[in-house]
Amino acid sequence: MAGRIKSLLHRWSSRVFSVELDGAPFYFAIQERHRGEEAPRVFRKLQSHDRCYTLLVCSRDRIKTARFYGELKDKLLRELPPECGLSPMSSFLPNVRDSLIKGYFLKDTSEGSSTVERLLSDLTQHEPVSVCSYCKNDDGQQWTQHLWSHGESQVMETAKKYYVVPSETPEYHPSTLNMINSDVFYSLDEACEVLKKCGDIIPEAMSVLELLPSRAEARNKPDFPVIVIEGLDATGKTTLTESLRETLGASLLRSPPQCLSPWRARFDQEPPLIRRAFYALGNYITAEQIGQEGKKTPVIVDRFWHSTAAYAIATAVSGPVCNLPGEGSEVYCWPSDLLQPSLVVLLTLDPEERKRRLRNRGQGKTNEEQELDHNQLFRLRVEEAYRRISGPACVSVDASPSADEVLQQVLLLIRGKCHL
């Protein structure tokens, strides 16, 4: 464990650290010699008696890392004195894929440091956490970083100290570096691998794997058109998909499929790596059902891979739309082993009208759906991610007219594209 952390962090001075304070990221790096640069903004805001720490979570086992990252936050919030402020942070090699390590930035303004230091030293010894402490130099301008390492029985600060300096905003938002096969999965095998590895800690994972199609079945090409309806919650997907089923005499399916319902709440509690693998597998199960139904009738699908990928991408990245991976990025490419629909329609709706429909419907929502209401940047990121996905890309339809007008509009699209 300690070896892994050391090898990942060995290039300390090439790494950039990002601390998220009040929704804005601050970047800093470290260097061995003091070259007269002033402290980065995240430190300039602090008093000289404030103590700061970075905690980076990393182990060889990525399932363990993902789960422990969430557990660590709960533990810190529970055990730290109330004067401590906790913010998400990360460390990465700029523009290097899979180099991101996530953690927390801790600001301690409490009177005595002993509680915090005891807690952190305990973490360093027993958990996959690497701790650095930061202090202000005597000149009152510079901050230095000390990496904690554990000796025989107690945690020591290593002799080497590094100076903290500002760093430029990287070209790629750090959260995009580890997105492929951690937030978004591009093959059945990659998603299966995550659930297989969870089998001993989440027994439900094995039940999900048992429902998976064999590869040959998943590749069955349907004879009839397959039309996917996408959109945020309450944009009218259920209303439209049911009308389409009646009008076209089609089969109606959804992703995640009905057979996964007993386990959905269980996987919704898990960290993104596991939760997204679960939803990814749901698409492959739905694809198999599409293959079966599509031999007999046209198939309408309520949410599919666009939803899985768009929510995953928009959650992994924070801040404005410009933090998303750029248009044309491989992140938006359809998985090569997943059935491609004939048409994907994205229902779009003015946020106020969507809220009105949500209120009228008055049902429970997933945490992510509640987030859509509270966080308008998140909503914008989901919508933009939907639009950037390609192979097939979605066709946007304004869902604000009456249900019948929306139906007619979508029927026109289907007839134009699918010769129905």
Ligand X SMILES: Nc1ncnc2c1ncn2[C@@H]1O[C@H](COP(=O)(O)OP(=O)(O)O)[C@@H](O)[C@H]1O
DSSP, collapsed to helix, strand or coil, labels residue 380 as helix
219 to 278, contacts with ligand X by CB under 6 A? 231, 233-239
Site for ligand CDP contains 303 (CB under 6 A): yes
Question: What is the DSSP pairing of strand 101-108 with strand 343-348?
Answer: unpaired
Binding string, residues 205-234; x marks residues near ligand CDP by CB under 6 A: ----------------------------x-
Select from ligand X, ligand CDP, none the partner in contact with residue 366, using the beta carbon and a kind-dependent cut-off of 5 to 8 Å. Answer: ligand CDP
DSSP, collapsed to helix, strand or coil, labels residue 363 as coil
Q: How far apart are CA 336 and CA 338, in angstroms?
A: 6
Residue from 54, 176, 255, 348 in contact with ligand CDP (CB under 6 A)? 255
Min CB(32)–ligand X separation in Å: 55
- Give the DSSP H or E segment for 164: strand 155-166
Q: Which of 353, 345, 352, 344 is nearest to 400 (CA)?
A: 353
Min CB(240)–ligand X separation in Å: 7
Select from ligand CDP, ligand X, none the partner in contact with residue 279, using the beta carbon and a kind-dependent cut-off of 5 to 8 Å. Answer: ligand CDP
Select from ligand X, ligand CDP, none the partner in contact with residue 222, using the beta carbon and a kind-dependent cut-off of 5 to 8 Å. Answer: none
Site for ligand X contains 403 (CB under 6 A): yes
Q: Give residues with Cβ within 8 angstroms of 158, minimum separation 6.
A: 146, 147, 148, 149
Select from ligand X, ligand CDP, none the partner in contact with residue 66, using the beta carbon and a kind-dependent cut-off of 5 to 8 Å. Answer: none
Q: How far apart are CA 196 and CA 360, in angstroms?
A: 41
282 to 341, contacts with ligand X by CB under 6 A? none
DSSP letter assigned to residue 40: P
Min CB(237)–ligand X separation in Å: 3
Q: Give the range of 86-94, 144-152, 288-296, 399-407 binding ligand X by CB under 6 A.
A: 399-407
Q: Would you list the DSSP string of 186-228? A: -SHHHHHHHHHHHTTT-THHHHHHHTPPPHHHHTPPPSS-EEE
Q: Give the range of 138-146, 274-282, 311-319, 355-363 binding ligand X by CB under 6 A.
A: 355-363
Question: For ligand X, how many residues bind (rule: CB under 6 A)?
Answer: 15
Residue from 360, 364, 374, 419 in contact with ligand X (CB under 6 A)? 360
Q: Which of 28, 3, 2 is nearest to 145 (CA)?
A: 28
Task: Determine if the peptide bond prior to 271 is cis (ω within 30°).
Answer: no
Min CB(303)–ligand X separation in Å: 9
Residue from 27, 162, 311, 378 in contact with ligand CDP (CB under 6 A)? 311
Tokens coding 245: 């089923």
Min CB(400)–ligand CDP separation in Å: 17
**99 or 289, CB closer to ligand CDP?**
289
Select from ligand X, ligand CDP, none the partner in contact with residue 269, using the beta carbon and a kind-dependent cut-off of 5 to 8 Å. Answer: none
Q: Rg (Cα) of the chain, in Å, rounded?
A: 24
Residue from 307, 318, 323, 342 in contact with ligand CDP (CB under 6 A)? 307
Residue from 4, 357, 379, 417 in contact with ligand X (CB under 6 A)? 357
Task: Determine if the peptide bond prior to 256 is cis (ω within 30°).
Answer: yes
Q: Give the range of 55-63, 96-104, 362-370, 404-412 binding ligand CDP by CB under 6 A.
A: 362-370
Site for ligand CDP contains 279 (CB under 6 A): yes
DSSP letter assigned to residue 38: P
Binding string, residues 32-71; x marks residues near ligand CDP by CB under 6 A: ----------------------------------------
Q: Using N-to-C axis directions, what is the helix angle for 62-79 and 272-293, rounded to 10°? A: 130
Select from ligand CDP, ligand X, none the partner in contact with residue 403, using the beta carbon and a kind-dependent cut-off of 5 to 8 Å. Answer: ligand X
Site for ligand CDP contains 368 (CB under 6 A): yes
Residue 52 and residue 109 in contact, taking contact as beta carbons nearer than 8 Å: no
Q: Which of 304, 314, 315 is nearest to 280 (CA)?
A: 304
**Sequence-distant contacts of 238-246: CB under 8 A, at least 24 apart:** 238/302, 239/403, 240/347, 240/399, 240/403, 240/406, 240/407, 240/410, 241/300, 241/301, 241/302, 243/403, 243/404, 243/407, 244/300, 244/407, 244/410, 244/411, 244/414, 245/300
The binding site for ligand X (CB under 6 A) comprises 231, 233-239, 357, 360-361, 399, 402-403, 406
